[in-house]
Structure formats: structure tokens, C-alpha cells
Structure 1
Amino acid sequence: MLIREACCAAFYCQRCGQIHVHEIPYFSDARKTVLRCDTCGHEQAVLERLNGGRISVELDCVVCGENNRFVFSLKRLHSVQLEKIYCRKDHFELGYIGCRKKIEELLSFNQAEFEALHPSDGKNFIEKQRVLLGVLNRVDEMASTGCISCSCGHSDISAELHGHYIVLSCANCGSCYTLRAEKASDLAHIGRYIELLVPGMAGDR
């Protein structure tokens, strides 16, 4: 069977932060296709062919923890040049869909623009995304195993992304803890346990 490429998609891996360009075939015998990260093997997206010449794309967002589902017509995918895909809840950029050339041009432009704006602040745009997602995943793992708490005695902790920082907040007393998420060393310096300190009790850590 002849499989013709409809377009390509590039998604940030929600585990390691790398981005890879995948081909989406216009015709395929498979009803469901799982796109995985070329670096760590983590599931990036699930493509499902629907009735009426449509295809759905499901993507998880590590920032809000929710699943996003987008539906495209195959006709549209065959002609789209470039479209950015964002999380519907927090508008976090998840990736791109369109023709390979346009996607690769945009990735190159993003890298060049980042280097121009931050000439002494690191050389790799994708590395920034990798570190950010790595820290978010680390925080999620710690929260799920009870390794994040507050000195007020509560463990209902929320996490919000603020630029290159992740702010942990206690829902009970409002105490905060800020994690930097910009350099590889930031990820490496996260310990096995995080405790938010109530102001005035033990000072900041």
C-alpha cells in the first residue's frame, strides 16, 4: 500500500524536553499510532483516525497535568504550512504541526533568536525546555510519593510555572518555595525532600 505523507509534527517530550519531528502519513492501515520520543522513548502523542476523514491528536501537558485532544481533517493537514499547538488550559507550548521544512525553519529561528536575546545565557534553546520539563517531572514524582510538604503540617501543595521558576505553594498557610528551572544544575540540585517553611518559624531555605 502506498503511504503518502500528509504533514509532519514536532512535539516537546514531556519527560526529557527534547523535540523531534515525526511524519504523519496521509493514508495508513493503523487506526492508532503512538509517537514516541527518539531520545528516551516516552510517549509524546497518540494519533487516532476517525470517521469522516479526520484524525485526533492527544497530548499530555506536564505543566497542568491534563490531556489535550485536537481534531484535524486530513484535508486540512495535507495543506497546512505551520501551526503551533498549545495546552488548552495553561497555554504552554506543546509543539508544532505542518510541513517539515516550515517546522525545521521555525526551530532554527527559535534557537537563533534565543541566542541573539541571551548571548551569555546559554547556547541551547531546547536545553532550556528540557530542564524545565525535567524539573516539573521531578516535582510531580516527589509530590506523588509524599516528598513535598509544609512545616505547617499540611501536604496540599500546588505548583505554578513563572518563567524559569516553579513556585510551590501551600494551600493551607500560603507558604512558598521557589525552584529555579533554567540550567542543568538546577535539576541536579533538587534534593529528595522539599519542605515549605512557614515565615518566621525557621527562615528560608
Structure 2
Amino acid sequence: MIEELIQNYGYLFEEELLQEINQVGTFKEVPEGFKLIEIGEYIKSMPLLVSGAIKILREDENGDELLLYFLERGDTCAMTLSCCLGQKKSEIRAISETPAKLIMIPIQKMEEWMTKYRSWRNFILESYHSRLMEMMQTIDSIAFMKMDERLLKHLRDKAMVTNDDVINSTHQDIANDLHTSRVVVSRLLKKLENQGKIQLFRNSIKVIDL
């Protein structure tokens, strides 16, 4: 695990912190679609993402989901941090968008490292800032962008986090992420294809206009 730590976090954390993470962290590999965090659960550890991508979702009172943001290599989740430090139940759902490798850090170490390591404190504060900016972009897209614009942005974001311009998602999966209906997504995907921005296949979508 120390090799993955140095490769992904060596430029951020000092040697002593890397060694502590290696001692107390738990290495975890998960397949695509694996549920890492569920709404209403108490969180006992915080993820450091070594590879892959994770999507963070909220749920309304009817059980419908809304995608907040993606986590990529080198990221952690601010919503998880908030629940860990406040010992509150999770308000988000985290699902692996691709096969992923993570290092799970016990929450007991969170506050200790905040005072002990300046690099950890800076990392946590920067993570809060990054996730806040991403959530603001999500709010802006809902408030100010047309649904076809939101859809194209979503496809571009997925292509970016997976490093693949071919997206293997059903129309229903995309509708769930955008909190809309499959019929609307299917119609708008066809519109985007006619505009030359994407190409539709039987079980995948190729993003041309990245």
C-alpha cells in the first residue's frame, strides 16, 4: 500500500504522515457500481481515492437521486469529512463509477492529524473548497442551464473522470443522475446526436464534442 500512497499523495504529505496512513489505513478494491457509503449510516472511516472514480449522490423525500459531484484519484469527500468530525449520519450515497482502489482512514485519526500535520490540514481544507465549488456548479447547472446543456455537461464530466470518451451508462442511469425522466434523456440524446455532439450505440454513448 505504501507504493500507492507515495505515488498518489507523496507530493502532498510528509514522510511521517505517509507512514502513519500506511499503518492505520485499510486498502480496499471495489468493482464498478459498489456502494461505499449509504444515506443514514454512521461513517467509521474516510476514503482516500487511489484510482478510479466515485459519484456522490443526494436523495429527495421520494427516493429520487441527484448527482452532486465525482471524486477522482487523489480526492476525498468533504461530505464524508463533515459527518466523520460531527459524528452524524451520512447525508450522501457514494457509488463507484468505475472499478476503484481506496485507502480507508479511521475517523479517530481525523482530528489528531488536523493538529499534528500541516499538510493534512491543508489537504482537508482544500478538499472542502473543491467539493463546495463542484456543488455550486451543480446548483448553477440546475438553476441556469437547459436540460440538454446539463446532459452534455454530465456526459463530458463522466468522460473526464473515466478517461474514456465512450460512456457505458443506460438512459435510465443518466436520468437518475440528473433527476429527470428516461424519456427526456432519450429525446435529448437523440437531439445531441443530430447536432454531431455525441454518437449513440446500443449500449453506450460516444462523446464527440469534449
TM-score by length of 1: 0.28
Higher helix share: 2
TM-score by length of 2: 0.27
Higher strand share: 1
Q: Which has the larger radius of gyration?
A: 1
